[in-house]
């Protein structure tokens, strides 16, 4: 992989967005005998994210740009390349080429940045090779790449279950949102290790997701459905308490919770204006943090 200071993708390159994935809830229902965990998570996608481009051609390579490029430079097995290789195993003669990743999301932050990048790579390869969006080989390659990649390939609000292979679309009302990461990466494996579920353990099932519910009904359901990884993540990253406190005091906040395995916290607001004001306040008080106002849910998301 090479690191580049700006977006150097050539004219004519295919381009895709890789939006941040936010786990509005995350229940760990048990640990299977094979070591994977069974999950139930209500997932939404934000207006903010990474950008990925592909110049189709011979070979397979990846160039890095953006504020997260330096962090990823040492990773020779980036999920973009891994996804491309898994698809090549399933599609004889797959045309690949040179990817350029503009890394804007913090790394190892619980908002699916790497998984979203991998899903974007699969979408780009599908376009370059004239594969239908519903080609089952795309889903197979996504699941082989990582448990969050199928949901990111789906790219719409959904209930994600199993180890990530079972997806059901969910209609969500639109919220303004603020994402905050204290720039402290946390490894998903470390959080699951801290959760310490023994193999073949089963836990209580999640309650049915309220697809199409009103904002008030959804908020009531969200407050009753936790992120089971938040407690072990807080033990590993005590700074999450400070992030939560900073978001909880912003005007108009409706809910504050950790996404995924952390360490990104999100806060929901009635509209984008309230979210933008909260983001300015938090960023002003904590300039070292990554802070982003955006939108979640609704018919579509646009970055603010």
Task: List active site positions.
Answer: 21, 148
Q: How far apart are CA 285 and CA 304, in angstroms?
A: 20
List Cβ neighbours of 135 (8 Å cut-off, separation of 6 or more). 126
Tokens of residue 180, six digits: 């905050």
Its sign, for the CA torsion 71, 265, 222, 298, is negative
Q: How far apart are CA 38 and CA 262, in angstroms?
A: 18
Other beta carbons within 10 angstroms of residue 184's beta carbon come to 18
Q: Can you count the helices (H) and strands (E) in the chain? A: 10, 13
Query: E-assigned strands of 137-264?
Result: 158-162, 166-169, 175-181, 201-202, 255-258
């Amino acid at each position: 992989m090479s690191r580049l200071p700006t977006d150097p993708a050539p004219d004519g390159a295919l381009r895709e967005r890789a939006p941040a994935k936010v786990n509005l809830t995350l229940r760990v229902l048990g640990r299977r005998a094979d070591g994977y965990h069974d999950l139930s998570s209500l997932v939404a996608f934000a207006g903010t994210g990474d950008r990925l481009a592909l110049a189709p051609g011979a070979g397979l390579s990846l160039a890095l740009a953006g504020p997260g490029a330096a962090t990823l430079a040492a990773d020779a097995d980036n999920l973009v390349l891994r996804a491309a290789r898994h698809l090549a195993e399933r599609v004889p003669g797959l045309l690949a080429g040179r990817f350029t990743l503009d890394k804007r999301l913090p790394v190892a932050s619980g908002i699916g940045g790497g998984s979203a990048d991998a899903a974007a790579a699969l979408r780009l390869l599908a376009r370059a090779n004239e594969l239908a969006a519903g080609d089952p080989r795309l889903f197979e390659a996504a699941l082989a790449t990582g448990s969050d990649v199928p949901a990111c390939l789906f790219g719409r609000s959904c209930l994600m279950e199993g180890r990530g292979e079972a997806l059901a679309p969910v209609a969500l009302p639109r919220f303004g949102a603020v994402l905050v990461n204290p720039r402290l990466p946390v490894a998903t494996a470390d959080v699951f290790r801290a959760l310490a579920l023994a193999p073949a353990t089963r836990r209580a099932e999640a309650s049915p997701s309220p697809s199409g519910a009103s904002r008030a009904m959804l908020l009531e359901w969200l407050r009753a459905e936790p992120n089971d990884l938040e407690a072990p993540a807080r033990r590993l990253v005590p700074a999450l308490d400070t992030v939560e406190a900073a978001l909880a005091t912003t005007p108009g906040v409706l809910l504050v919770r950790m996404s995924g395995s952390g360490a990104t916290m999100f806060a929901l607001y009635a509209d984008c204006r309230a979210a933008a004001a909260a983001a300015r306040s938090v960023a002003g008080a904590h300039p070292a943090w990554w802070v982003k106002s955006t939108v979640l849910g609704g018919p579509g998301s646009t970055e603010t």
